[in-house]
Structure 1
Amino acid sequence: MIAILKYNAGNTKSVQNAIQRLGYECIVTDDTAQLQAADKVIFPGVGEAGSAMEYLKAKGLDVVIKNVKQPVLGICLGLQLMCTASEEGATEGLGIFDVLVKKFPPRGIVPHMGWNNFNTINSPLFKGISIEDNIYFVHSYYAELCNDTIAQCDYLLPFSAALQKDNFYAVQFHTEKSGAVGEQILKNFLAL
Protein backbone atom coordinates (compact mmCIF):
# COMPACT_ATOMS: atom_id res chain seq x y z
CA MET A 1 0.00 0.00 0.00
CA ILE A 2 1.17 3.50 -0.88
CA ALA A 3 0.41 6.16 1.74
CA ILE A 4 0.06 9.79 0.66
CA LEU A 5 0.61 12.08 3.62
CA LYS A 6 -2.46 14.14 4.47
CA TYR A 7 -1.62 17.58 5.81
CA ASN A 8 -3.83 19.94 3.78
CA ALA A 9 -1.45 20.11 0.82
CA GLY A 10 -3.00 21.40 -2.39
CA ASN A 11 -1.87 18.64 -4.78
CA THR A 12 -2.88 15.55 -2.79
CA LYS A 13 -5.71 14.51 -5.13
CA SER A 14 -3.62 14.89 -8.30
CA VAL A 15 -0.82 12.79 -6.74
CA GLN A 16 -3.39 10.16 -5.73
CA ASN A 17 -4.79 10.09 -9.28
CA ALA A 18 -1.27 9.72 -10.75
CA ILE A 19 -0.49 6.76 -8.46
CA GLN A 20 -3.80 5.06 -9.27
CA ARG A 21 -3.22 5.54 -13.01
CA LEU A 22 0.00 3.55 -12.56
CA GLY A 23 -2.07 0.69 -11.10
CA TYR A 24 -1.17 1.07 -7.41
CA GLU A 25 -3.54 1.22 -4.48
CA CYS A 26 -3.03 4.24 -2.27
CA ILE A 27 -4.58 5.99 0.69
CA VAL A 28 -4.44 9.62 1.79
CA THR A 29 -3.83 9.58 5.53
CA ASP A 30 -2.42 11.35 8.54
CA ASP A 31 -2.77 8.20 10.66
CA THR A 32 0.58 7.29 12.24
CA ALA A 33 0.01 3.52 12.11
CA GLN A 34 -0.99 3.59 8.41
CA LEU A 35 2.05 5.69 7.50
CA GLN A 36 4.40 3.37 9.37
CA ALA A 37 2.83 0.24 7.80
CA ALA A 38 2.84 1.56 4.20
CA ASP A 39 5.23 0.15 1.60
CA LYS A 40 6.04 3.68 0.40
CA VAL A 41 5.16 7.14 1.66
CA ILE A 42 4.59 10.16 -0.58
CA PHE A 43 4.88 13.61 1.01
CA PRO A 44 3.16 15.93 -1.49
CA GLY A 45 2.94 19.67 -1.22
CA VAL A 46 1.43 22.84 -2.52
CA GLY A 47 1.05 25.43 0.19
CA GLU A 48 2.88 27.59 2.69
CA ALA A 49 5.77 26.21 4.75
CA GLY A 50 4.89 27.66 8.17
CA SER A 51 1.28 26.51 8.37
CA ALA A 52 2.18 23.13 6.86
CA MET A 53 4.84 22.52 9.54
CA GLU A 54 2.39 23.57 12.26
CA TYR A 55 -0.06 20.91 11.05
CA LEU A 56 2.66 18.24 10.92
CA LYS A 57 3.81 19.08 14.45
CA ALA A 58 0.28 19.22 15.86
CA LYS A 59 -0.38 15.67 14.58
CA GLY A 60 3.08 14.33 15.55
CA LEU A 61 3.77 13.67 11.86
CA ASP A 62 7.09 15.53 11.99
CA VAL A 63 8.48 12.73 14.19
CA VAL A 64 6.83 9.94 12.18
CA ILE A 65 8.20 11.13 8.82
CA LYS A 66 11.78 11.39 10.09
CA ASN A 67 11.67 7.86 11.52
CA VAL A 68 10.04 5.76 8.79
CA LYS A 69 12.33 3.18 7.18
CA GLN A 70 10.52 2.64 3.88
CA PRO A 71 11.13 4.88 0.82
CA VAL A 72 9.66 8.37 1.15
CA LEU A 73 9.16 10.79 -1.76
CA GLY A 74 8.72 14.49 -1.06
CA ILE A 75 7.18 16.60 -3.83
CA CYS A 76 7.56 20.42 -4.07
CA LEU A 77 6.70 21.76 -0.59
CA GLY A 78 7.34 18.21 0.65
CA LEU A 79 10.98 18.58 -0.45
CA GLN A 80 11.26 21.99 1.19
CA LEU A 81 9.86 20.80 4.53
CA MET A 82 12.35 17.90 4.53
CA CYS A 83 15.22 20.44 4.58
CA THR A 84 16.80 22.14 7.61
CA ALA A 85 14.86 25.41 7.35
CA SER A 86 12.99 27.63 4.90
CA GLU A 87 13.09 31.39 4.48
CA GLU A 88 9.33 31.15 3.93
CA GLY A 89 8.00 32.26 7.30
CA ALA A 90 11.39 31.49 8.92
CA THR A 91 10.19 27.88 9.16
CA GLU A 92 12.22 25.15 10.82
CA GLY A 93 12.09 22.02 8.67
CA LEU A 94 12.44 18.32 9.42
CA GLY A 95 16.23 18.39 8.92
CA ILE A 96 16.37 15.23 6.83
CA PHE A 97 18.41 17.10 4.23
CA ASP A 98 21.06 19.43 5.61
CA VAL A 99 20.31 22.33 3.29
CA LEU A 100 18.50 25.65 3.44
CA VAL A 101 15.49 26.65 1.36
CA LYS A 102 15.74 30.21 0.09
CA LYS A 103 13.54 32.61 -1.85
CA PHE A 104 14.48 33.18 -5.48
CA PRO A 105 16.14 36.58 -5.96
CA PRO A 106 13.84 39.32 -7.32
CA ARG A 107 15.86 39.71 -10.52
CA GLY A 108 13.46 37.66 -12.61
CA ILE A 109 9.90 36.40 -12.69
CA VAL A 110 9.01 34.64 -9.45
CA PRO A 111 7.55 32.10 -9.02
CA HIS A 112 9.49 29.79 -11.31
CA MET A 113 6.47 28.40 -13.13
CA GLY A 114 6.47 26.17 -16.17
CA TRP A 115 8.66 23.61 -17.89
CA ASN A 116 12.38 23.28 -17.33
CA ASN A 117 14.97 20.59 -17.91
CA PHE A 118 17.79 19.15 -15.82
CA ASN A 119 21.43 20.18 -15.86
CA THR A 120 22.47 16.99 -14.09
CA ILE A 121 20.77 13.83 -12.81
CA ASN A 122 22.35 11.04 -10.77
CA SER A 123 20.08 8.48 -9.13
CA PRO A 124 18.03 5.33 -9.84
CA LEU A 125 15.05 7.68 -9.42
CA PHE A 126 15.87 8.97 -12.93
CA LYS A 127 16.19 5.62 -14.71
CA GLY A 128 15.05 6.13 -18.31
CA ILE A 129 15.16 9.94 -17.94
CA SER A 130 17.46 12.27 -19.87
CA ILE A 131 18.73 15.74 -18.89
CA GLU A 132 16.87 17.03 -21.97
CA ASP A 133 13.54 15.85 -20.54
CA ASN A 134 11.26 18.58 -19.24
CA ILE A 135 9.53 18.64 -15.86
CA TYR A 136 6.95 21.06 -14.48
CA PHE A 137 7.75 23.55 -11.71
CA VAL A 138 5.73 26.01 -9.63
CA HIS A 139 7.80 27.44 -6.75
CA SER A 140 9.13 30.68 -5.28
CA TYR A 141 11.58 28.98 -2.91
CA TYR A 142 14.39 26.56 -3.75
CA ALA A 143 16.79 24.21 -1.97
CA GLU A 144 20.41 25.18 -2.43
CA LEU A 145 22.85 22.73 -3.99
CA CYS A 146 24.28 20.34 -1.39
CA ASN A 147 25.81 16.89 -0.89
CA ASP A 148 22.34 15.31 -1.20
CA THR A 149 21.57 16.91 -4.59
CA ILE A 150 20.79 14.21 -7.19
CA ALA A 151 19.38 16.52 -9.88
CA GLN A 152 20.14 20.14 -10.63
CA CYS A 153 18.23 22.78 -12.59
CA ASP A 154 18.80 26.44 -13.34
CA TYR A 155 16.31 29.25 -12.89
CA LEU A 156 17.95 32.57 -12.04
CA LEU A 157 20.58 30.40 -10.32
CA PRO A 158 21.45 26.70 -9.97
CA PHE A 159 19.25 24.84 -7.45
CA SER A 160 18.46 21.32 -6.26
CA ALA A 161 15.73 19.84 -8.45
CA ALA A 162 15.94 16.62 -6.43
CA LEU A 163 17.54 15.37 -3.23
CA GLN A 164 18.24 11.91 -1.82
CA LYS A 165 19.58 10.63 1.48
CA ASP A 166 19.14 7.05 2.68
CA ASN A 167 15.45 6.13 2.14
CA PHE A 168 14.40 9.75 1.58
CA TYR A 169 13.90 11.12 -1.93
CA ALA A 170 12.49 14.52 -2.82
CA VAL A 171 11.78 16.47 -6.00
CA GLN A 172 11.08 20.19 -6.35
CA PHE A 173 9.07 19.72 -9.54
CA HIS A 174 5.59 18.22 -9.78
CA THR A 175 5.85 14.62 -10.96
CA GLU A 176 2.04 14.44 -11.19
CA LYS A 177 1.97 17.34 -13.68
CA SER A 178 5.09 16.41 -15.68
CA GLY A 179 3.47 14.06 -18.20
CA ALA A 180 5.28 10.88 -19.23
CA VAL A 181 8.54 12.01 -17.60
CA GLY A 182 6.88 12.55 -14.22
CA GLU A 183 5.05 9.25 -14.58
CA GLN A 184 8.37 7.45 -15.20
CA ILE A 185 9.91 9.07 -12.12
CA LEU A 186 6.92 7.97 -10.01
CA LYS A 187 7.25 4.43 -11.47
CA ASN A 188 10.94 4.41 -10.58
CA PHE A 189 10.17 5.48 -7.02
CA LEU A 190 7.41 2.91 -6.61
CA ALA A 191 9.79 0.18 -7.90
CA LEU A 192 12.48 0.97 -5.29
Structure 2
Amino acid sequence: MPPVTTFIWVAVAVVAIGLYLSWTAGRLDRLHARIDAARAALDAQLLRRASVAQELATSGVLDPAASIVLYQSAHAARQAEDEHREVAESELSQALRAVFAEPDAVEAVLAAPGGEETVGELTQAVRRVPMARRFHNDAVRAARAVRRHRVVRWFRLAGHAPFPLAFEMDDEPPMAFTADGAAGH
Protein backbone atom coordinates (compact mmCIF):
# COMPACT_ATOMS: atom_id res chain seq x y z
CA MET A 1 0.00 0.00 0.00
CA PRO A 2 1.47 3.36 -0.98
CA PRO A 3 2.35 5.73 1.87
CA VAL A 4 -0.18 8.32 0.64
CA THR A 5 -3.06 5.82 0.94
CA THR A 6 -1.91 4.83 4.42
CA PHE A 7 -1.74 8.48 5.42
CA ILE A 8 -5.27 9.10 4.10
CA TRP A 9 -6.67 6.11 6.05
CA VAL A 10 -4.91 7.23 9.23
CA ALA A 11 -6.22 10.79 8.74
CA VAL A 12 -9.77 9.50 8.18
CA ALA A 13 -9.54 7.35 11.33
CA VAL A 14 -8.22 10.27 13.40
CA VAL A 15 -10.97 12.57 12.11
CA ALA A 16 -13.63 9.90 12.82
CA ILE A 17 -12.32 9.35 16.34
CA GLY A 18 -12.17 13.11 16.90
CA LEU A 19 -15.76 13.54 15.70
CA TYR A 20 -16.94 10.71 17.96
CA LEU A 21 -15.15 12.18 20.98
CA SER A 22 -16.53 15.63 20.22
CA TRP A 23 -20.07 14.27 19.83
CA THR A 24 -19.77 12.30 23.09
CA ALA A 25 -18.43 15.32 24.97
CA GLY A 26 -21.28 17.44 23.59
CA ARG A 27 -23.82 14.81 24.61
CA LEU A 28 -22.36 14.69 28.10
CA ASP A 29 -22.46 18.46 28.32
CA ARG A 30 -26.14 18.47 27.29
CA LEU A 31 -26.89 15.79 29.90
CA HIS A 32 -25.21 17.87 32.60
CA ALA A 33 -27.23 20.91 31.51
CA ARG A 34 -30.37 18.76 31.67
CA ILE A 35 -29.44 17.73 35.22
CA ASP A 36 -28.96 21.37 36.21
CA ALA A 37 -32.34 22.34 34.75
CA ALA A 38 -34.07 19.37 36.38
CA ARG A 39 -32.45 20.17 39.73
CA ALA A 40 -33.60 23.78 39.49
CA ALA A 41 -37.15 22.59 38.75
CA LEU A 42 -37.00 20.14 41.66
CA ASP A 43 -35.70 22.86 44.00
CA ALA A 44 -38.54 25.15 42.90
CA GLN A 45 -41.15 22.48 43.57
CA LEU A 46 -39.66 21.61 46.95
CA LEU A 47 -39.55 25.29 47.90
CA ARG A 48 -43.14 25.76 46.77
CA ARG A 49 -44.29 22.76 48.82
CA ALA A 50 -42.46 24.00 51.93
CA SER A 51 -43.78 27.55 51.47
CA VAL A 52 -47.39 26.42 51.16
CA ALA A 53 -46.96 24.12 54.17
CA GLN A 54 -45.48 27.00 56.22
CA GLU A 55 -48.26 29.32 55.14
CA LEU A 56 -50.84 26.73 56.13
CA ALA A 57 -49.12 26.09 59.48
CA THR A 58 -49.23 29.79 60.37
CA SER A 59 -52.81 30.34 59.15
CA GLY A 60 -54.38 29.25 62.45
CA VAL A 61 -56.65 26.76 60.71
CA LEU A 62 -54.97 23.61 62.01
CA ASP A 63 -54.81 22.58 65.64
CA PRO A 64 -51.75 23.96 67.49
CA ALA A 65 -49.84 20.66 67.63
CA ALA A 66 -50.30 20.02 63.89
CA SER A 67 -49.33 23.61 63.14
CA ILE A 68 -46.09 23.33 65.12
CA VAL A 69 -45.12 20.00 63.53
CA LEU A 70 -45.87 21.25 60.03
CA TYR A 71 -44.16 24.62 60.54
CA GLN A 72 -40.99 23.09 61.99
CA SER A 73 -40.72 20.51 59.22
CA ALA A 74 -41.37 23.08 56.49
CA HIS A 75 -38.89 25.53 58.02
CA ALA A 76 -36.24 22.80 58.34
CA ALA A 77 -36.79 21.80 54.69
CA ARG A 78 -36.40 25.41 53.51
CA GLN A 79 -33.25 26.02 55.58
CA ALA A 80 -31.52 22.66 55.06
CA GLU A 81 -28.01 22.54 53.65
CA ASP A 82 -27.51 20.38 50.55
CA GLU A 83 -26.09 17.42 52.48
CA HIS A 84 -29.15 17.35 54.79
CA ARG A 85 -31.80 18.35 52.26
CA GLU A 86 -33.05 14.85 51.41
CA VAL A 87 -33.68 14.05 55.08
CA ALA A 88 -35.40 17.38 55.75
CA GLU A 89 -37.65 17.02 52.71
CA SER A 90 -38.52 13.45 53.74
CA GLU A 91 -39.43 14.71 57.20
CA LEU A 92 -41.72 17.32 55.63
CA SER A 93 -43.43 14.58 53.63
CA GLN A 94 -43.92 12.57 56.83
CA ALA A 95 -45.28 15.63 58.65
CA LEU A 96 -47.74 16.33 55.85
CA ARG A 97 -48.95 12.73 55.96
CA ALA A 98 -49.28 12.88 59.75
CA VAL A 99 -51.15 16.20 59.77
CA PHE A 100 -53.51 15.23 56.96
CA ALA A 101 -54.03 11.62 58.01
CA GLU A 102 -57.28 12.72 59.63
CA PRO A 103 -60.03 13.84 57.22
CA ASP A 104 -60.96 16.51 59.80
CA ALA A 105 -57.76 18.41 59.03
CA VAL A 106 -58.56 18.69 55.34
CA GLU A 107 -62.15 19.68 56.14
CA ALA A 108 -60.94 22.35 58.57
CA VAL A 109 -58.67 23.86 55.92
CA LEU A 110 -61.41 23.73 53.28
CA ALA A 111 -63.87 25.43 55.65
CA ALA A 112 -61.52 28.34 56.36
CA PRO A 113 -61.56 31.50 54.20
CA GLY A 114 -59.34 30.83 51.18
CA GLY A 115 -59.14 27.18 52.20
CA GLU A 116 -60.00 25.77 48.79
CA GLU A 117 -57.19 27.79 47.22
CA THR A 118 -54.73 26.66 49.91
CA VAL A 119 -55.71 23.01 49.52
CA GLY A 120 -55.42 23.38 45.74
CA GLU A 121 -51.93 24.86 46.01
CA LEU A 122 -50.80 22.19 48.46
CA THR A 123 -52.29 19.44 46.31
CA GLN A 124 -50.43 20.70 43.24
CA ALA A 125 -47.22 21.06 45.21
CA VAL A 126 -47.26 17.56 46.70
CA ARG A 127 -48.14 16.04 43.32
CA ARG A 128 -45.41 17.89 41.41
CA VAL A 129 -42.54 17.02 43.75
CA PRO A 130 -42.44 13.31 42.79
CA MET A 131 -42.57 14.21 39.09
CA ALA A 132 -39.77 16.75 39.39
CA ARG A 133 -37.68 14.28 41.40
CA ARG A 134 -38.27 11.57 38.79
CA PHE A 135 -37.17 13.90 35.95
CA HIS A 136 -34.05 14.83 37.90
CA ASN A 137 -33.15 11.25 38.73
CA ASP A 138 -33.76 10.14 35.11
CA ALA A 139 -31.33 12.83 33.92
CA VAL A 140 -28.79 11.69 36.52
CA ARG A 141 -29.19 8.07 35.44
CA ALA A 142 -28.61 8.98 31.77
CA ALA A 143 -25.50 11.03 32.57
CA ARG A 144 -24.09 8.28 34.78
CA ALA A 145 -24.58 5.74 31.98
CA VAL A 146 -22.54 7.88 29.59
CA ARG A 147 -19.89 8.66 32.19
CA ARG A 148 -19.34 4.94 32.87
CA HIS A 149 -18.08 4.34 29.31
CA ARG A 150 -14.35 3.74 29.14
CA VAL A 151 -13.81 6.28 26.37
CA VAL A 152 -15.36 9.01 28.53
CA ARG A 153 -13.12 8.09 31.46
CA TRP A 154 -9.93 7.61 29.40
CA PHE A 155 -10.24 10.92 27.60
CA ARG A 156 -11.75 12.70 30.62
CA LEU A 157 -14.65 13.97 28.55
CA ALA A 158 -16.63 14.92 31.66
CA GLY A 159 -14.01 17.51 32.50
CA HIS A 160 -14.25 18.71 36.09
CA ALA A 161 -18.00 18.26 36.38
CA PRO A 162 -18.92 16.52 39.63
CA PHE A 163 -20.34 13.01 39.39
CA PRO A 164 -24.13 13.45 39.28
CA LEU A 165 -26.06 12.30 42.34
CA ALA A 166 -29.70 11.28 42.48
CA PHE A 167 -32.05 13.00 44.92
CA GLU A 168 -33.55 10.33 47.15
CA MET A 169 -36.34 11.30 49.50
CA ASP A 170 -39.70 10.15 50.79
CA ASP A 171 -42.08 12.01 48.50
CA GLU A 172 -45.23 10.03 49.16
CA PRO A 173 -48.06 12.59 49.38
CA PRO A 174 -50.78 12.45 52.02
CA MET A 175 -53.65 10.24 50.91
CA ALA A 176 -55.99 13.25 51.04
CA PHE A 177 -53.97 14.93 48.24
CA THR A 178 -53.62 12.01 45.85
CA ALA A 179 -55.93 11.25 42.94
CA ASP A 180 -57.66 8.69 45.20
CA GLY A 181 -58.11 11.18 48.04
CA ALA A 182 -60.84 13.75 48.54
CA ALA A 183 -58.88 17.00 48.08
CA GLY A 184 -57.47 18.60 44.95
CA HIS A 185 -60.20 18.19 42.41
Bin the TM-score by the shorter chain. Answer: under 0.3
Q: Which protein is richer in strand relative to its size?
A: 1
Higher relative contact order (CA 8 A, sep 6+): 2
TM-score (norm 1): 0.25
Larger relative helix fraction: 2
